[in-house]
Structure 1
Amino acid sequence: MTLSPTAIFLLLTLVKIAVVLLITLTSVAYTVLLERKVIALAQNRWGPSRTGPFGLLQPLADGIKLFLKEDLMPLAVERPLFVIAPMIALACALVSIAVVPFGKLTVYHGVDLFQISDVNIGLLVILGITSIGVYGIALSGWSSNNKYSLLGSLRASAQVISYELALGLSLVGVVMRAGSLRLRDIVTSQAHHGLLSWNIWPQLLGFFIYLMAAYAETNRAPFDLPEAESELVAGYHTEYSSMKFAMFFMAEYANMITVSCVATLLFFGGASSPLGHLLPDNFGGPILSVIFPVLWFVAKVFAFLFLYIWVRSTLPRFRYDQLMSFGWKFLLPLAMVNIVATALVLAFRS
């Protein structure tokens, strides 16, 4: 039986979605292991080392443990919202991966093998989807009927709204330079001369603002006030257990991966080689020329994840007033200065 072109297109798309989802969830699990190992080294201890060789099966053991734990439901919670909140958080964290191009343009039967959906406003799609994720946190705190959970969710909502503005404005300079919101166009604009073409050099200020705002957006140290253990027990997920707690955990690490992917695409040339056109596009034959860009992309994302963990193991937590002042009084004006400076430079060049 011969499949029609439409059937082939749908089948390849479904396979691609399944593969990307599997890789993302596996990456989330092993990012947790990477964090535990790196922080252990920073604190002069071993970290997970018993489950499997070098502790490589620890994420599997953690997943089985969480799945088999009793799922407790406190009596006073608002049940429908309590259940749906972690689903919203995880879904928004995973859906944003759909527009990320993680390899060079490779079309087979009309399907781009290294990007689920090529949208001409891909950057706006990522910003929009990730901003919805805070609803999961806000609903979890309110529906738990617990004062610590509510305080944690209020902190998270205020923090995300405050830093989202600076994060969005920090990317305007990159968009102005590329002249497009399509992620492949932004990557292509940085591919000509390798690392000399990367946006990190002319947009160093924008990158700094993006990095700081991204740490706050993902509720990571030193901006992890919504789940400050010393103040709020466990913050917005105090009342959660079993797989509902795991969903929040997975959402946080999936957001870390998304932030690292966006930073790689916008400031470090995405899947393009740092050597630029010194290496021909068909270097290594048809197979290696497709594999190398994916490896470059993975290496850059890994470097960002390592930086995330390094910062957590090094810096103490902010005070809440310092957190808000840093976002509104420092990062936001700095982002506006970056936009004006980029606009002036581009105007003089033209």
Structure 2
Amino acid sequence: MTRAELLADDPIWLILIKAVILLLLGPIMTMFMIIWERKVVARMQQRPGPNRVGPNGWLQSVADAIKLPFKEQIIPDTADRKVYFLAPLLSTIPAILAFSVIPFGPQVSIFGEQTVLQLVDLPVGALVILACSSMGVYGIVLAGWSSGSPYPLLGGLRSAAQVISYEIAMGLSIVAVILYTGSLSTGDIVDAQHGLWFALALAPSFVIYLISMVGETNLAPFDLPEAESELVGGFHTEYSSMKFALFFLAEYVNMVIVSAFATTLFLGGYNAPWPISAINDNYFNTGWWPILWFFGKVLVLLFVYIWLRGTLPRMRYDQFMRLGWKALVPLNLVWIVAVTAIRAIRNEGINTSQALLFGGIVVVLLIGVVMLLPDRRVPDEDEDAVPVTGGGYPVPPLDLEIPGKPKRKPVRPRARRERARVGAGDERETD
């Protein structure tokens, strides 16, 4: 039986068990990720991490989860209360829904019932995950707008621009996978990687997806919607208690979702890695073993998140937007053209080496055309040019004079001190 047929035959009690497990998976992974991130970053920065609550501090996340709902709930007077209450739910619910189309393992037996370790297998499963990950931005934008405060509003607007920029790059990065697989079903994508993972066959798409998933989830070094140094806390500045906990939950669940999606698209899904699969492919890729390989790959990608947070500083906003629009999107388009050409040539019966040679020539030509395009010339220092800031926005010169206004004489520091002293003496005399 096919995967879809097995899932269609699932009884109601089995569907409920799967749904409850997926519902609990998000909060459990969030609690684990919080304490793991704090410990790993503390290790990287040579400082003590959480070590008080529980054995070696591993129950710190449990203490935080108990503390947050009991904190005082403060709602601004200027807030739009309906939207203010709705925004955290719009961020959390789509993130948890995305788990439903992720294949965690192959066919297994649960209480004597043959099923697949997946809730549903939709023909457009990959698009469902993209839609769920992009729906979370509505919660962030509405949270910033409904708070009635300027800093959350700026954070929400940043998040909207950020998701638009990096959602395009992320969507384009899976086009090559769809061309090779011929399907949008997540189960079919995993089955197509039984031999060679797409992370090797489609390495440029994999690298672009890794960068895009960090920008999509608003995490360091792309955490500009929060930006504590300039926006206090960003879009969730005016949130507290359980509503803040929901935003916290949505952020970490989105990290798990995009990492699981990357595992499904590029890292073979639940298929065993090469050294283990070479030993006994039929044994380690069947039964309950694949769950171990799947979550092992997800944890590796989550460690990359933590590594970036503890290593790289926050990017400037213009650098961040330039990377998305001027680097990731054009490179993705060039790569899609090359992959399409290779697939078309292979369908004509030409061998792989010739197809790769043709694809390499196409890529080199496209890169050459891009390099030959005229670029904006930066004026020399001795030229009469308007000084610009780091973002490329002109600012008025420091010695700007207003027409019709008499020019003031510069006051020397000594004369300023003497004038102040005389003024203080006059006041004492009048007293």
Q: Does 1:124 align with 2:127?
A: yes
**Residue in structure 2 matched with residue 248 of structure 1 by the alignment:** 247
Conserved 8 A contact 2:165-2:321 = yes
Structure 1: which amino acid aligns with 2:320? L
The CA deviation at 1:280 is: 3.9
**Residue in structure 2 matched with residue 313 of structure 1 by the alignment:** 310
The CA deviation at 1:118 is: 1.1
Q: Which secondary structure does the structure 2 equivalent of 1:227 belong to?
A: coil
Conserved 8 A contact 1:16-1:113 = no
Poorly superposed stretches of 4+, deviation over 2 Å: 105-113, 275-278, 280-283
**Residue in structure 2 matched with residue 158 of structure 1 by the alignment:** 161
The CA deviation at 1:111 is: 6.7
Conserved 8 A contact 2:270-2:291 = yes
Q: CA–CA distance in 1 between the matches of 2:171 and 2:149?
A: 33
Q: Which secondary structure does the structure 2 equivalent of 1:71 belong to?
A: coil
**Residue in structure 1 matched with residue 177 of structure 2 by the alignment:** 174
Query: What does 1:1-350 correspond to in 2, within 5 Å?
Result: 9-106=11-108, 112-192=115-195, 197-275=196-274, 276=277, 278-282=279-283, 289-350=286-347
The CA deviation at 1:20 is: 1.9
Q: CA–CA distance in 1 between the matches of 2:335 and 2:346?
A: 17
Q: CA–CA distance in 2 between the matches of 1:56 and 1:289?
A: 32
- Name the stretch that deviates more: 103-112 or 43-52: 103-112
- Structure 1 residue runs without a partner (length 5+): 1-5
**Equivalent pairs: percent with the same residue?**
48
**Residue in structure 1 matched with residue 363 of structure 2 by the alignment:** none
The CA deviation at 1:117 is: 1.0
Deviations 1:81-136 (A, max 9, x none): 00010011000111111100011133668773411111111001111121111110
Conserved 8 A contact 1:93-1:133 = yes
The CA deviation at 1:67 is: 1.2
Conserved 8 A contact 1:166-1:327 = yes
The CA deviation at 1:281 is: 2.2
CA 1:7 to 1:215, structure 2 compared with 1: closer, same or farther past 3 Å?
Answer: closer
Q: Which secondary structure does the structure 2 equivalent of 1:185 belong to?
A: helix
The CA deviation at 1:256 is: 0.3
Q: TM-score, normalised by structure 1?
A: 0.93
For the aligned residues, what is the CA RMSD? 1.7
The CA deviation at 1:289 is: 3.8
Conserved 8 A contact 1:178-1:185 = yes
Q: Which has the higher contact order (CA 8 A, sep 6+)?
A: 1
- Structure 2 residue runs without a partner (length 5+): 1-7, 348-431
The CA deviation at 1:278 is: 4.5
Q: CA–CA distance in 1 between the matches of 2:84 and 2:131?
A: 23
- Name the stretch that deviates more: 106-115 or 74-83: 106-115
Q: Which secondary structure does the structure 1 equivalent of 2:78 belong to?
A: coil
Conserved 8 A contact 1:170-1:338 = no
Q: CA–CA distance in 1 between the matches of 2:279 and 2:125?
A: 29
Structure 2: which amino acid aligns with 1:220? L
Q: CA–CA distance in 2 between the matches of 1:113 and 1:187?
A: 13
The CA deviation at 1:23 is: 2.4
Structure 2: which amino acid aligns with 1:39? V
Q: Larger radius of gyration, structure 1 or 2?
A: 2
Q: CA–CA distance in 2 between the matches of 1:52 and 1:31?
A: 16
Conserved 8 A contact 1:104-1:272 = no
Q: Which secondary structure does the structure 2 equivalent of 1:106 belong to?
A: strand
CA 1:233 to 1:111, structure 2 compared with 1: closer, same or farther past 3 Å?
Answer: farther
Q: CA–CA distance in 1 between the matches of 2:27 and 2:156?
A: 25
CA 1:110 to 1:334, structure 2 compared with 1: closer, same or farther past 3 Å?
Answer: farther
The CA deviation at 1:202 is: 1.9
More helix by share: 1
